[in-house]
Structure 1
Amino acid sequence: MDRNSQCWCGSGKKYKKCHLEFDEKIMSIKLDFYKGQIRPPHTIIKTPTDIEGIKKSAVINDAALDLVAEHMKVGVDTEMLNQLAHEYIVSQGGIPACLNYEGYPKSICVSINDVVCHGIPSKDTILKDGDIVNVDITTIYNGYYADASRMFMIGNVSEEAEKLVRVARECMIKGIEAIRPWGFLGDIGAAVQLHAHAHGYSVVTDLGGHGIGKKFHEEPFVPHVGEAGTGMLLVPGMVLTVEPMINTGKYAVYIDKNDDWTVYTKDHSLSAQWEHTVLITDDGVEILAK
């Protein structure tokens, strides 16, 4: 790109005064083909306007999760949780991103015990004492997406379940802590995998995190297993989700043929997941949605 042309990011500034130095930094880093190291495309680098838009969406998304948290108790049906989140998001001018996404019928995902993800809310699904529950919400606001999920423990849960929920959150945190500008995507999975395996747990490999911004799912796919120093170069301005799914049993999963959405552990062991949306900054990361 010519130094005096308008920058590719759409800022309206000349390239030499905007992303020239950034691009030179990216190109100066020697990549190892054998480790699958690649440079990120410009299309997934967020501008300050993009970041501000994602942050505003995240405010609504976090508040929706807070609202759901207030109603997590024995006897509540998961459709009620769905309606609470839906009505709140819409009241704030947002759009529940999950609703009708590739045919998904509800506004949030509620996944209980051996359901890994994409559990469909229903009036017939009642929260019971001892359940562990993941609630996953994604909001669109003014064209920008924010995505996060949390675990909840209903009533008196077993020690096994409590430990899984705690360690799953630690795995997410370890993954986020492994992110550094000019590091690599594989650093995230390596950190998650090491912590999960240290506790005797497995990590789901068929599903993972993703880039996010003006679309629900953008590059890169974020695996939660892997080798440090491999995969895409991580640079400031990238926004992605870290959302490891941790099982007490084996990592294999299957999709319910009755609804084509609900993902279960194949051995019906317990599963837990936490998710944050994070921005890679010049000196680390900033959590945008939690």
Structure 2
Amino acid sequence: MRKVRGIYLKNSGEITIMREANRIVSVILDALGEAVEPGVPTMRFEEIAQKMCQDFGVKPAFQGYGGFPFALCCSVNEEIVHGFPSVERVLDEGDIVSFDMGVVYKRFYGDSARTFGVGNVSQEATDLMKVTRESLLLGIEQAVVGNNLYDVSRSVQDYVESRGYSVVRRFVGHGIGRKLHEKPEVPNFVPKGTMGPPLKAGMVLAIEPMVCIGTHDVEVLEDKWTAVTKDRKLSAHFEHTIAVTPEGPVILSAS
């Protein structure tokens, strides 16, 4: 690993370790998605995540990070990110639920997120999830050597806004490696008056669009963690950890 302008570039061996960390995250997200159905308390997903971390012999990345009390971020409907699993919160038909999961494997982090529909969901919710997932993939396509980081940001923002949705600005993606959050920040919009760093082989980035049906304005609830849309309209969240390589972007957290 070497550092350029404050950004850690990973070598092939380190990327191999991160690929396994993110594979484990992907397997956990697969299992969580299979367990989604009406009537399930959201604490059940925390239990699944904890048990699978034990089975894989990995540490939950989020638990204890900044005081966060759970392994899993579980966010329902208008909750954008950092939602708490709960015994009282039970999924209803038509809800959407976002899972953000991370692990530590051999001192490297894996991080990924997906949003799932609960039973039969509305066309509005289906379209929101589809656009959010597609914006992530379009952003990843721009993560090539020689591009600027904000080429990724611009691709996400342009696609989302062209479909009539808004991109959350308060929370952004990030570099990832031996720390959960490394430089650079990866916004899903192009900040005004700034230039992003050039993309170099060895960068590993967590790209994570959070997309809203209404306003992108955010409110944080009394628990000091759960972020919701200010207008309480639906939000979806998809995230992949990717490596920038000479051959193009590689999704490390692919299912």
TM-score (norm 1): 0.84
Q: Is the 8 A contact 2:172 2:209 kept in 1?
A: yes
Partner Cα distance (2:119, 2:22) in 1? 29
Which structure exhibits the higher relative contact order, with contacts defined as CA atoms closer than 8 Å and separated by 6 or more residues? 2
Q: Is the 8 A contact 2:61 2:104 kept in 1?
A: yes
Structure 1 or 2, whichever has the larger Rg, is 1
Q: Is the 8 A contact 2:217 2:230 kept in 1?
A: yes
* DSSP 3-state at the match of 2:35: coil
Residue of structure 2 equivalent to 1:104: 68
Q: Is the 8 A contact 2:136 2:239 kept in 1?
A: yes
Q: Is the 8 A contact 2:26 2:112 kept in 1?
A: yes
Q: Which has the higher strand share?
A: 2
Partner Cα distance (2:162, 2:19) in 1? 34
Aligned residues: 253
Residue of structure 1 equivalent to 2:147: 183
Q: Which amino acid letter does the alignment assign opposite residue 135 of structure 1?
A: F
The alignment yields a C-alpha RMSD, in angstroms, of 1.7
Partner Cα distance (1:85, 1:160) in 2? 29
Residue of structure 2 equivalent to 1:252: 217
Detail structure 1 runs of 4+ shifted over 3 Å in the superposition: 227-230
Residue of structure 1 equivalent to 2:203: 238
Q: CA deviation at 1:270?
A: 0.7
Partner Cα distance (2:11, 2:187) in 1? 25
Q: CA deviation at 1:230?
A: 3.4
Residues 214-237 of structure 1 show CA distances to partners (whole Å, capped at 9, x for unaligned) of 000000000001179931111000
Is residue 265 from structure 1 mapped to residue 236 from structure 2 by the alignment?
no
Residue of structure 2 equivalent to 1:216: 180
Partner Cα distance (1:187, 1:40) in 2? 19
Partner Cα distance (1:56, 1:199) in 2? 35
Partner Cα distance (1:199, 1:174) in 2? 14
Q: CA deviation at 1:142?
A: 1.1
Q: Which amino acid letter does the alignment assign opposite residue 50 of structure 2?
A: H
Q: Which amino acid letter does the alignment assign opposite residue 233 of structure 1?
A: P
1:3-18 equivalences under 5 Å are: 9=2
TM-score (norm 2): 0.95
Q: Is the 8 A contact 2:7 2:203 kept in 1?
A: no
Residue of structure 2 equivalent to 1:205: 169
Residue 133 of structure 1: which of 87, 90, 97 is its match?
A: 97
Q: CA deviation at 1:286?
A: 0.3
Residue of structure 1 equivalent to 2:189: 225
Partner Cα distance (2:161, 2:16) in 1? 37
Is residue 83 from structure 1 mapped to residue 47 from structure 2 by the alignment?
yes
Q: CA deviation at 1:178?
A: 1.5
Partner Cα distance (2:172, 2:74) in 1? 17
Using the aligned pairs only, state the percent identity: 37
* DSSP 3-state at the match of 1:267: coil
Partner Cα distance (2:20, 2:79) in 1? 30
Residues 110-144 of structure 1 show CA distances to partners (whole Å, capped at 9, x for unaligned) of 11110010011011110100001111100101101
Q: Which amino acid letter does the alignment assign opposite residue 65 of structure 1?
A: L
